[in-house]
């Protein structure tokens, strides 16, 4: 068999696996949007069965033989070519998957589906006890997964690699600590400024139907293609890529708080724009897949915050806002609205946190899930540990479980190691945005005119189209000319908040 023939067979197998995975994504999307509550147990069996089939295909010895043959072929000589990237990344994934027993993969899937169902009920009832047994099982299984995969320093390394390949716990902790050391004084100065944003503007009546229409208009304007995607409602917003031309985004609505749905839509649309910007001819293969969840998060945070909370954005969209919600904003100026959506105050809810305090929410979760994974923290003690961390890092403590330990879906879904990618995404986003601003000759000018396509095209060229040719660290350095730094994010935050709070 020639290398070309072997490569074509490898791609065929990988695309069939991607087809099965897309079916799993569709089942997961349906579970979190339209599935009736009583169907949860059978859905768990469906997804466990499917995950077992996928694992069987991903660990097929024939796949291993093809990868072994191709690794020594001319097609692998350039590791950053589309062919080299495909061989390198599929071999990395194969080497990980063969370490995991099919029974563990199936049990993790089953536990995660049931865990999500229990989480929804526990959050509705504000009762952590309903979810605790599921958390116990999920973390037990994640410890088994880490042990099977192996690690050098910390079991968390093995799980973090699923979301941020090649990243290490110690390195992430170092980056987040450096960021925290500058964030805490900035937040402190804002709190001591004596200035208060007019947040009451956001707590008026914003009819749900108008929120949905306005949100879809904004998402389409910034580049989300609704001929290849849709928007639905869920308990916890997410984006699901179901195929090369099928991207589903979701949000949740609060008629008495504007930010919840609107910025959730911008956030998920950012994820969707990335998925829609990947090369469809390589769907299911590394050149057509996202680099890492941190890079994926950079795209959502860039559109949500660096664009969506900018003054330039609202110079363009404020007249449309006034038309969509005339009763709510009839007496509101652009300046007042801009300050309201950039209000800074330590809060309880991560997804509604401001730009300045958001990463402190991530540090809390990052530290707690490491302790849970190592067994240094018991699942039963998690709510108390959560309150203690929030008191220490943010100066606020939740009065109940719904606004505390039950606010995120991630642990119920088995996504241990996911949380730090949010903070990394903020760092990547600021550094990419800074570079795009230089390359495009001033983004504020374009955004204020409603010209979002130049930024979309810049992102497609530099971030989306390369797929997995480079690691996240390599991509940042290639695009911006320097390694990842917290300086661009801190510079952005200081430029924004200093005028608002008189710093």
The catalytic residue positions are: 268
CB-based burial of residue 12 (10 Å sphere; 0-12 exposed, 13-18 middle, 19+ buried)?
exposed
**Residue 278 contacts residue 466 (beta carbons within 8 Å):** no
In the numeric block, the tokens 């069939």 are attached to: 16
How many other CB atoms are there within 10 angstroms of residue 140's CB atom? Answer: 13
How many other CB atoms are there within 10 angstroms of residue 247's CB atom? Answer: 25
Q: Kindly state the tokens that stand for 102.
A: 């099919």
Residue count of the chain:
503
CA 443 and chain centroid, separation: 24
CA–CA distance, 257 with 101 (Å, rounded to integer): 46
Q: Which SS3 state, helix, strand or coil, does residue 112 take? A: helix
Q: How far is CA 381 from CA 204, 219, 347, 362, 373, in A?
A: 38, 41, 22, 19, 13
In the numeric block, the tokens 């995950």 are attached to: 51
Q: Which SS3 state, helix, strand or coil, does residue 22 take? A: helix
Q: Kindly state the tokens that stand for 42.
A: 């059978």
**Residue 420 contacts residue 175 (beta carbons within 8 Å):** no
130 Cβ neighbours under 8 A, 6+ residues apart: 118, 121, 122
Measured N-to-C along each axis, helices 420-439 and 358-374 cross at an angle, to the nearest 10 degrees, of: 140
Q: Which SS3 state, helix, strand or coil, does residue 466 take? A: coil
Measured N-to-C along each axis, helices 169-191 and 420-439 cross at an angle, to the nearest 10 degrees, of: 70
CA–CA distance, 142 with 379 (Å, rounded to integer): 13
Strand segments, DSSP code E, in 217-275 are: 229-233, 239-243, 246-251
Measured N-to-C along each axis, helices 420-439 and 293-301 cross at an angle, to the nearest 10 degrees, of: 60
CA–CA distance, 418 with 372 (Å, rounded to integer): 14
239 beta partners: 249
**Residue 226 contacts residue 174 (beta carbons within 8 Å):** no
Run of H or E residues at 208: helix 208-222
What is the full DSSP assignment across 327-385? HHHTT--HHHHHHHHT-----S-GGG--TTTHHHHHHHHHHHHHHHHHTSS-GGGHHHH
């Amino acid at each position: 068999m020639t290398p070309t023939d072997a490569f074509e067979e490898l791609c065929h197998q990988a695309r069939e696996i991607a087809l099965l995975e897309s079916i799993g994504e569709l089942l997961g999307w349906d579970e979190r949007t339209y599935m009736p509550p009583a169907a949860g147990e059978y859905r768990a069996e469906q997804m466990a069965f499917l995950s077992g089939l996928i694992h069987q295909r991903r660990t097929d010895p024939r796949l291993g033989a093809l990868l072994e043959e191709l690794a020594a072929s001319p097609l692998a000589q350039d590791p950053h070519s589309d062919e080299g990237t495909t061989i390198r990344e599929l071999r990395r994934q194969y080497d990980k998957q063969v370490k995991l027993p099919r029974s563990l993969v199936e049990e993790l899937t089953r536990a995660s589906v049931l865990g999500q169902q229990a989480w929804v009920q526990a959050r509705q009832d504000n009762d952590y006890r309903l979810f605790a047994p599921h958390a116990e099982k999920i973390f037990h299984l994640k410890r088994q997964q880490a042990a099977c995969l192996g690690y050098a320093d910390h079991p968390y390394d093995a799980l973090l690699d699923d979301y941020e390949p090649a990243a290490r716990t110690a390195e992430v902790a170092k980056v987040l600590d450096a960021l925290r050391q500058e964030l805490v004084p900035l937040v402190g100065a804002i709190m001591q400024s004596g200035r208060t944003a007019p947040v009451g503007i956001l707590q008026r009546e914003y009819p749900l139907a108008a929120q949905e229409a306005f949100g879809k208009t904004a998402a389409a304007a910034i580049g989300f293609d609704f001929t290849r995607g849709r928007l639905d409602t869920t308990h916890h917003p997410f984006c699901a890529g179901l195929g090369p031309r099928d991207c589903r985004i979701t949000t949740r609505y609060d008629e008495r708080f504007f930010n919840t749905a609107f910025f959730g839509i911008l956030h998920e649309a950012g994820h969707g724009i990335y998925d829609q910007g990947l090369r469809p001819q390589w769907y299911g293969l590394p050149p057509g897949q996202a680099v890492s969840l941190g890079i994926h998060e950079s795209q959502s945070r860039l559109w949500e915050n660096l664009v969506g909370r900018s003054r330039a954005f609202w110079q363009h969209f404020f007249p449309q806002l006034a038309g969509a919600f005339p009763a709510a904003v009839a007496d509101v100026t652009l300046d007042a609205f801009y300050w309201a959506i950039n209000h800074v105050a330590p809060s309880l809810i991560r997804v509604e946190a401001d730009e300045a305090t958001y990463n402190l929410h991530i540090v809390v979760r990052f530290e707690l899930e490491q302790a849970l994974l190592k067994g240094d923290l018991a699942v039963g003690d998690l709510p108390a540990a959560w309150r203690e961390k929030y008191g220490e890092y943010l100066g606020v403590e939740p009065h109940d479980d719904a606004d505390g330990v039950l606010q995120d879906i991630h642990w119920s879904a088995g996504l241990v190691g996911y949380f730090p990618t949010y903070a990394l995404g903020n760092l990547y986003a600021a550094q990419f945005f800074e570079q795009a601003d230089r390359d495009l000759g001033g983004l504020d000018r374009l955004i204020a005119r409603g010209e979002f396509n130049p930024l979309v095209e810049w992102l497609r060229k530099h971030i989306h189209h390369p797929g997995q040719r480079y690691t996240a660290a390599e991509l940042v350095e290639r695009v911006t000319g320097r390694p990842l730094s917290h300086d661009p994010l801190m510079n952005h935050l200081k430029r924004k908040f200093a005028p608002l709070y008189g710093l």
